[in-house]
Each structure stands twice: as structure tokens, then as C-alpha cells.
């Protein structure tokens, strides 16, 4: 069926809970692993039904947050998220108490059991109301962001649409666009502060009720991190500060020289070339047409998959009024297909977001035959390898998109991959500070952001713009509000994706086979085991960060950017 033909039906949670409870009782009373496993698979079927409807609702709501029906349905899922979490907790408890636990381990692997143990730690019945409240406040942030209509040059524009003006050759236009964009955040500062105040309060309270010192370790456990901890991440952050920040400073210094500016301000950072940024050589239909050709040539698997995504209308790509910002890939369990959501705005980002989300989609589709949903996607730090890796794997076809701007694209993409990492690490460090000190006031949080920003991004100059000088930039970052501690994942994956870039230039065929391999394992393995599966090195070793930075620095030296 096409996506538009899929039927959404709000589930009867009372009946579902009753059925689930009956299955749990039968599961616990089973006299053999085979019998117990059959009840487990019946629960999995109920879980798939529930997830399919939840995801379908979320897609249709984010495509149009002004649709009152799906707004109410989204509220329904927010209000009942804790009930669903309770069902999952009951199942996990039953599995861990099973006399056949080792049989489950044999069938689904060590990571299945390790993840179940983490799930057990992160939920108790007494936090159900807190989870509902957390979900509701996170949705308030999403609604506030989706409501953005910034008056600019005679039209009301979304955040995504405003991004185009930050690439305008006219510096006054860039400055005005930056001030208008962050003027929205400044004008709504009290709302952004209140939402985050509430989220920090709720998350810290949940952590204390579960027996944690604070939300930090709970945040890691929620993310399913079984084979590394905050100490490993701190070591990685140090590697970024030591080896990567100095290189990114050089990249921006070269940009400053290239643009003929005495100083780069925040609104200049995305304007990289005096002759203009590389842009796709056509509209969205052109991009889709070139993507079809690209994936036809990349491999038989990608050819068939991309055509299926088109045929079944499994992509919503254009920015429009009322659409939630950003991009994502999700999965419809009962249809065994992914869905790609994006906000094309006519910039270089359109091609990047398509290849990025296609990487996620190809991974989860490759893992569609894994029988249980919990092992469909890997942990976020692993999932982002597939997406960021796909961005580099598709480089041989970029000339089809960018024409004479292709060299510009290559430089911009490689330099951007590096310059993103300090920001991603900053987001993570900031969240550590927030949740280790949950009593901080909004003003203290913003001051802490600015303090850390000067360490990880010393090139950031806000030119006296008060809201940003006081440390407000982070309030535009969705993940900080809605997905705490999900951001370092992008940077860890970027280091691995840069290994994919290097290997694709050395032995492309072997790299593609290893890439498919890490897609197919889904979430059946933890992060470091997935790296082993594909022959990649761990970013937690500062030497790996240093070697990656050295390779990319040498690569970038091959460009004469004065020609750009």
C-alpha cells in the first residue's frame, strides 16, 4: 500500500493491556522455552501493532502540526506513553525472571539481555505520571518550534526557510536573517526557559526515584549504552579539544580570508564562498531524479529499495507551513518499511539530508527480517554511522547534483563534517553540566553554554547580539529538549563515517560489503561490537581522532579554495 492509503486507528489500550497481561501470565507459567517463546512472539505482534499506529500518527502530525485530528492523536500518545512503557517493563521483567533466560540469550544474543537489564533499571510504576509529564513538555517545545513564522522580506517564513538567507552573498541580508531568526527565540525566551526548567526538574526527579544520583547515568541507560560510559565520552571530548578544534579554527580562518572579511560573525559561518554556496542544479524533482539514477548505479540493493520508497510514497521532503522542522527516518513495523521526513529549502542541505536519511532507511530496511523491533535499529551512535557514511559513499555521483560546483561541495562537505564535531561535543558537555547541577537557573545555564562555547567553538563571534552573547544559541537544538544525551552520537558516528570516507577511496568494494554488514546486524550488537563487525576503529581512542583529523587535514590541503 502507498503511505497515503494506510489506515490509522487509535488502539483500545484497555483491551490491549488485558491481552498483554494474559500473555504475560501464560508466559510465566510456560513449561518449556519453546512454549514461552511462542507467547513472547505474540507479545511482539501486539507491540508491532501498537508501534505502527504510534509511528503513523507521529508522521502525519509532524507533516502538518496544524491538523487538529492528528494533534489530538499525538496528545493521546503523549498521555499514554507511560502505560506503554509499563507494558514493556513487565515483559522485560518476565524475561529476566525466566528459567529459560539463557535460551533467550542464545537466540537473541548478549546485547538483548544486557539491554533488558538496562530497561529494568530505567522504569518503575511510580514514575509513570512523570513520564507522561516529560512527554507533554517535550511536545510543547516541538509545537513552539513548529509554530515559527518569522516575518522577513515581506513573508512569514519557517526556520528552515530562514536558513537560505544565511547563505546570501549580501552580508546585510545574512545579518538581518540571523537577527530575525534568533529574535524569535529572544522574544519567546520565557517559554523556552520554562519548558526546559520543567524538563530538567522532571528528569532529575525521575532519576532520584529510580535510585540514580542524577539524570546523567539514567540518560546513558535510556540510550541503551551498554559498552561505554561517561568516562569514555569525557576522554573522547578531550581528543576533540586537543586535535580537532585547532583544525576547525584553521578552516574558519581560511574562510575569513577567502571572503575578504576582517572577522567572521555567526551569520557568516554558513556563507563559505564569495561566488556563492554550492546548490543543487534543480528543484526537488530534479534531486529525486538524480537520486534515483545514483542509487540505481550504486548497487542492486539500493536501486530496488529507492524505487520502492518512491512507489509507496514513503518520503515527505518539502518544507511547508505547519510542518515540524528538521529531518528524520522512522519505521512502520507492520509494513516493514521506513519513512523519510525532511524540509528541502533549495540549499546544499537538501542533498545532504536525502543521502543522510536514506542511509538510516537503507539500514533499517536491511534489518527488516530481524524478528523483534528492539533489534531493528541499533543504538543512535551506531545508527548515525549508516546515515553519515552514506553521505560519503554517494560522493562519486555528486557531480550529477552540483555540476560545476562539485569541487566546492566536496570541500564544504568534508570541512563541514569536521566543523560539526566540536558543536556536537559541546551539546553533550553542556547537558552533563545541566544534569549534574540541576539547580542551575536559566541564566546560569545560558552562561555555562557560552563558557563551553568559547572552549569548543572559539571562532563564534556574536557581534554584540545580546541573546546569543548571553548563551541562548542552544535553545534551537531539538535534541537538548526532546532527546537528552542524544547528540554525542552524531559526533562519534562522524569519526567512523570519516573512516568510511577514507576506506571508500582505498577499496570501495570491500567498504560497501562491510557497510551492508553493519546495516544488516541492526541493533543485535552494541556500538563497539558493530565497529568490529565492519572493521572500524573506536573513537574513544584519542589516537583514532588524531589520525582521522590528520587524514582529513591532508585531504583538504588538496583544494585551492581561492578558486571558489
The residue among 98 and 163 whose pLDDT is bigger is 98
What are 388-427's pLDDT values in tens digits?
999 999 999 999 999 999 999 999 999 999 999 999 999 9
pLDDT of residue 148: 87
Query: In this predicted model, what pLDDT tens digit does every residue of 348-382 receive, in sequence order?
Result: 889 999 999 999 999 999 999 999 999 999 999 99
Write out pLDDT tens, residues 110-143. 999 999 999 999 988 899 899 999 999 999 999 8
Q: What residues contact residue 354 under an 8 Å CB cut-off, 6+ apart?
A: 287, 291, 317, 340, 342
Note whether 286 and 109 are within 8 A (CB).
no
**pLDDT given at position 338:** 98
Q: For position 365, what pLDDT does the model report? A: 98
Q: Using the Cα atoms of residue 289, residue 294, residue 295 and residue 297 in order, give the sign of their dihedral.
A: positive
Q: Which triple of cell numbers denotes residue 230?
A: 561517561
446-454 contacts, C-beta under 8 A, 24 or more apart: 446/470, 446/471, 446/472, 446/474, 447/471, 449/473, 449/474, 452/426, 453/426
Q: What is the pLDDT of residue 135?
A: 92
The b/e string for 317-350 (b: 16+ C-beta within 10 A; e otherwise) is bebeeebbbbbbbbbbbebebbbbbbbbbbbbbb
CA-to-CA distance for 326 and 189, rounded, in angstroms? 21
% of the chain exceeding 90 in pLDDT = 90
**pLDDT of the residue at 81:** 86
* pLDDT tens, position by position, 11-70: 999 999 999 999 999 999 999 999 999 999 999 999 999 999 999 999 999 999 999 999
DSSP annotation of 244: I
Q: Radius of gyration (Cα) for the chain, nearest Å?
A: 23
Distance CA 306, CA 296 (A): 8
SS3 content of the chain, % helix, strand, coil (to 5): 70, 5, 25
C-alpha cell at 126: 511510580
pLDDT greater than 90 at residue 161: no
User: What sign for the dihedral angle of Cα 34, 36, 39, 44?
Assistant: negative
Cα 564 to the center of its chain, rounded Å? 31
Q: How far, in Å, are 47, 116, 521 from residue 369 at the CA level?
A: 16, 21, 10
Helix runs in 210-312, H state only: 215-222, 230-239, 245-259, 284-298, 300-311
> What pLDDT was estimated at residue 346?
87
Statement: the pTM of the whole predicted model exceeds 0.85: yes
Q: What's the grid cell of residue 336?
A: 516493514
Strand-pair partners of 344 = 318
What is d(CA 347, CA 161) in angstroms, rounded to the nearest whole number?
Answer: 10
Could you read off the pLDDT of 450-493 as tens digits, one per residue? 999 999 999 999 999 999 999 999 999 999 999 999 999 999 99
Asked if the model's pLDDT at residue 528 lies above 90, the reply is yes
Instruction: Give the separation between CA 43 and CA 521, rounded to whole angstroms.
Output: 22
Residue 553 has pLDDT above 90, yes or no: yes
Rounded (5°) CA angle 258-260-262: 120
Strands 155-157 and 150-152: antiparallel
pLDDT for 158 equals 87
Alpha carbon distance 138, 59 (integer Å): 16
pLDDT value of residue 336: 97
> Which of 357, 384, 351 shows the shortest CA–CA distance to 498?
384
Half-sphere exposure of 261 (CA within 13 A, CB side): 21
Under DSSP, is residue 367 helix (H, G, I), strand (E, B) or coil? coil
- Residue 167 is predicted with a pLDDT of 87
Q: According to the model, what pLDDT value does residue 147 have?
A: 86
Q: What is the pLDDT of residue 30?
A: 97
Q: Work out the average pLDDT over 190-194.
A: 97
Contact predicate 292/355, CB 8 Å:
no
CA dihedral sign of residues 459, 151, 471, 439: negative
For residue 224, how many other CB atoms are within 10 A of its CB? 20
Sorting pLDDT into bands at 50, 70 and 90, what band is 159? Answer: confident
169-179 tens-digit pLDDT = 999 999 999 99
Q: Mean pLDDT, the chain, as a whole number?
A: 95
| pLDDT per residue as tens digits for the range 307-338 | 999 999 999 999 888 898 889 999 999 999 99
Q: Which residues contact residue 537 at a Cβ distance below 8 angstroms, ignoring those fewer than 6 apart?
A: 499, 531, 544
CB count, 10 Å around CB of 372?
Answer: 18
Contacts of 261 (CB under 8 A, 6+ apart): 268
Question: How many Cβ atoms from other residues are within 10 Å of residue 275's Cβ?
Answer: 12
In order of 14, 245, 361, 378, 562, the CA distances from 328 in angstroms are 31, 28, 10, 15, 35
Closest CA to 222 of 15, 77, 98, 379: 379
Amino acid at each position: 500500500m502507498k503511505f497515503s492509503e494506510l489506515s490509522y486507528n487509535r488502539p483500545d489500550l484497555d483491551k490491549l493491556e488485558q491481552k498483554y497481561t494474559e500473555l504475560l501470565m501464560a508466559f510465566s507459567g510456560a513449561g518449556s522455552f519453546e512454549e514461552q517463546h511462542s507467547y513472547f512472539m505474540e507479545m511482539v505482534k501486539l507491540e508491532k501493532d501498537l508501534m505502527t499506529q504510534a509511528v503513523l500518527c507521529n508522521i502525519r502530525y509532524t507533516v502538518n502540526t496544524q491538523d487538529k485530528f492528528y494533534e489530538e492523536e499525538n496528545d493521546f500518545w503523549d498521555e499514554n506513553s507511560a502505560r506503554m512503557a509499563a507494558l514493556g517493563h513487565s515483559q522485560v521483567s518476565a524475561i529476566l525472571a525466566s528459567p529459560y533466560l539463557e535460551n533467550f540469550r542464545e537466540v537473541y544474543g548478549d546485547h538483548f539481555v544486557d539491554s533488558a537489564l538496562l530497561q529494568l533499571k530505567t522504569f518503575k510504576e511510580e514514575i509513570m505520571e512523570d513520564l507522561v509529564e516529560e512527554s507533554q513538555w517535550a511536545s510543547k517545545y516541538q509545537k513552539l518550534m513548529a509554530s515559527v513564522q518569522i516575518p522577513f522580506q515581506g513573508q512569514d517564513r519557517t526556520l528552515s526557510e530562514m536558513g537560505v538567507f544565511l547563505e546570501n552573498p549580501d552580508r546585510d541580508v545574512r545579518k538581518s536573517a540571523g537577527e530575525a531568526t534568533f529574535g524569535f527565540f529572544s522574544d519567546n525566551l520565557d517559554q523556552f526557559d520554562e519548558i526546559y526548567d520543567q524538563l530538567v526538574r522532571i528528569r532529575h526527579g525521575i532519576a532520584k526515584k529510580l535510585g540514580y544520583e542524577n539524570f546523567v547515568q539514567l540518560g546513558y541507560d535510556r540510550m541503551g549504552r551498554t559498552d561505554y560510559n561517561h568516562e569514555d565520552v569525557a576522554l573522547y571530548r578531550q581528543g576533540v579539544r586537543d586535535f580537532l578544534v585547532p583544525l576547525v579554527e584553521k578552516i574558519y580562518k581560511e574562510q575569513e580570508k577567502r571572503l575578504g572579511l576582517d572577522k567572521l560573525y555567526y551569520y557568516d559561518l554558513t556563507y563559505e564562498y564569495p561566488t556563492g554556496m554550492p546548490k543543487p542544479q534543480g528543484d526537488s524533482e530534479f534531486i529525486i531524479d538524480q537520486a534515483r539514477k545514483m542509487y540505481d548505479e550504486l548497487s542492486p540493493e539500493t536501486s530496488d529499495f529507492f524505487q520502492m520508497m518512491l512507489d509507496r510514497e514513503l518520503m515527505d521532503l518539502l518544507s511547508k507551513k505547519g510542518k515540524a522542522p528538521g529531518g528524520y527516518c522512522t519505521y512502520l513495523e507492520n509494513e516493514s518499511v521506513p519513512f523519510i521526513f525532511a524540509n528541502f529549502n533549495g540549499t546544499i542541505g537538501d542533498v545532504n539530508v536525502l543521502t543522510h536519511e536514506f542511509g538510516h532507511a537503507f539500514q533499517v530496511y536491511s534489518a527488516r527480517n530481524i524478528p523483534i523491533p528492539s533489534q531493528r535499529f541499533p543504538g543512535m551512535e551506531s545508527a548515525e554511522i549508516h546515515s553519515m557514511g552514506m553521505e560519503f559513499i554517494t560522493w562519486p555521483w555528486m557531480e550529477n547534483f552540483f555540476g560545476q560546483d562539485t569541487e566546492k561541495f566536496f570541500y564544504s562537505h568534508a570541512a563541514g563534517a569536521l566543523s560539526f564535531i566540536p558543536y556536537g561535543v559541546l551539546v553533550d558537555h553542556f547537558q552533563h553540566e545541566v544534569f549534574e547541577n540541576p539547580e542551575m537557573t536559566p541564566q546560569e545555564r545560558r552562561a555555562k553554554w557560552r563558557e563551553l562555547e568559547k572552549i569548543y567553538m572559539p571562532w563564534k563571534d556574536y557581534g554584540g547580539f545580546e541573546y546569543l552573547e548571553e548563551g541562548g544559541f542552544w535553545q534551537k537544538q531539538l535534541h537538548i529538549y526532546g532527546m537528552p544525551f542524544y547528540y554525542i552520537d552524531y559526533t562519534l558516528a562522524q569519526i567512523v563515517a570519516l573512516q568510511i570516507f577514507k576506506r571508500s577511496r582505498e577499496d570501495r568494494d570491500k567498504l560497501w560489503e562491510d557497510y551492508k554488514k553493519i546495516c544488516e546486524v541492526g541493533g543485535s550488537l552494541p556500538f563497539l561490537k558493530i565497529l568490529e563487525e565492519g572493521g572500524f576503529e573506536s573513537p574513544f581512542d584519542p589516537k583514532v581522532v588524531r589520525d582521522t583529523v590528520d587524514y582529513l587535514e591532508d585531504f583538504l590541503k588538496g583544494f585551492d579554495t581561492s578558486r571558489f
